[in-house]
A and B are shown apart, each in its own frame.
Chain A
Amino acid sequence: MPSTYEPIATTTASGSSGTVSFTSIPQTYTDLVLVMQVGYTSGSHYAVVRANGDADANANYGNTYVAGDGSSALSGRNGGLSGFYSSFALLGNTTLNFISTMQIFNYTNTTTFKSSLTRANLASSGVEAVVACRRTDTNAITSLEIKATSSAVYASGSIFSLYGIKAA
């Protein structure tokens, strides 16, 4: 049986950009796992994970989340999004305490819309799980761009790691 949980690439932010890209993602795995520990140089923001160069106009993502904020549980959903969100109830802030693990399933198949499951935590705010679907097309995912909302900049030390899991 193959070794199957392998690192593909890692990027560490220098504090000057709000965009991280993984391009030419190998098509040899079954699922992708994107692990992030993120902060911003100012303000509170989301990290939006866009596939295959999707832009704001590609508003064909939706998500449903459940979260706990320390005092209550909540759920919501959103349509017309431009990417998989690393969270939706939790906003990352200037600390590096926001962590997110996103599973992107069967990213190389060309017959289904692509879905993701994410668990996110922000120690100061709460925990969250998100399911999301990209309905733009059924193309295989070959690139991912993790873009901070509102032109924010990732704080130095923010880290983004992409892994591949290969099924037998």
Chain B
Amino acid sequence: MSPILGIYASSMRSGNSYESIATVTVGSGGASSITFSSIPSTYQHLQIRGIVRSNGGAANNPMYMTLNSDTSANYSWHGLFGDGASASAAASINQSRIDIDRIAEASAGSNIFGSFVTDILDYANTNKFKTTRNLGGIDQNSSGFIFFESGLWRNTNAVSTISFAPPTGSFVQYSSFALYGIKG
């Protein structure tokens, strides 16, 4: 499948406060990344919801989110997470992406996917840096991981493109990413 998905404002319908913009469900060939592009600036906030699994990695790691194809060190994030044994906090600054914790990888049991909900607030405002929040996790019977996270992209441009990539390998079939717009 094509890793690029275009979204055009002309296809949008008005009158609803929470609207589906586009969805990518990974096919049998997998996908090294997925991208929502040409996101209309007609909403107040964006939300991305999904279930995710990749074929890479021995452990279960975060996937990476970038905005407007910016891969410079303009991102930071802070998080509170639990691994089933203890709660911890972590942060990372001057990163080339925002980490979205955590997805299932090759070591996860069959049919198990990580899940996440990510919000991008006031994404079309050109006067402020963009902030995100994420709730995500995976439980695979013998272990699990749950993550609260905030993210920052130090750029005032309106967000028009959102990309996700696994840390290694490719997203596997049935991984699904759904982008929604929330009106103010």
Contact = CB atoms under 8 A, between A and B. Distances in A.
Contact of B21 (A1, A30, A116): A1
Contacts of B84: 64, 75-77
A29 B145 CA distance: 27
Contact of B144 (A62, A109, A135): A62
> For B11, B50, B137, B145, which residue has the most chain A Cβ atoms within 10 angstroms?
B137
Given A62-B144, A75-B84, A131-B146, A3 B139 contact: no
Contacts of A55: none
Contact of B142 (A76, A79, A115, A131): A79
Interface in A79-124: 79, 103, 105-106, 109, 111-113, 115-117, 119
Nearest to A80: B141
Contacts of A11: none
A40 interface: no
A115 B15 CA distance: 31
Interface in B127-171: 135-146, 148
Contact of B178 (A133, A135, A167): A167
B112 interface: yes
Interface in A48-83: 62-68, 73-77, 79
A105 to B, nearest CB: 5
Interface string A150-168: 0000000000000001111
B111 A138 contact: yes
B115 A103 contact: yes
Mostly helix, strand, loop or mixed at chain B's interface?
A: strand
Contact of B19 (A1, A109, A117): A1
B109 to A, nearest CB: 8
Interface residues of B, number: 49
A64 B115 contact: no
Nearest to B181: A1
A116 B15 CA distance: 29
Contact of A65 (B50, B51, B82, B115): B82
Interface in B88-147: 89, 109, 111-117, 135-146
A129 interface: yes
A73 B80 CA distance: 9
A75 B82 contact: yes
A113 B112 contact: yes
Interface of B: 11-13, 15-23, 49-51, 80-87, 89, 109, 111-117, 135-146, 148, 174, 176, 178, 180
Given A4-B19, A103-B115, A167-B20, 18 more contacts: A1-B11, A1-B16, A1-B20, A64-B145, A65-B82, A66-B82, A74-B86, A75-B83, A76-B84, A77-B144, A79-B142, A105-B51, A112-B174, A131-B137, A131-B138, A133-B139, A167-B23, A167-B49
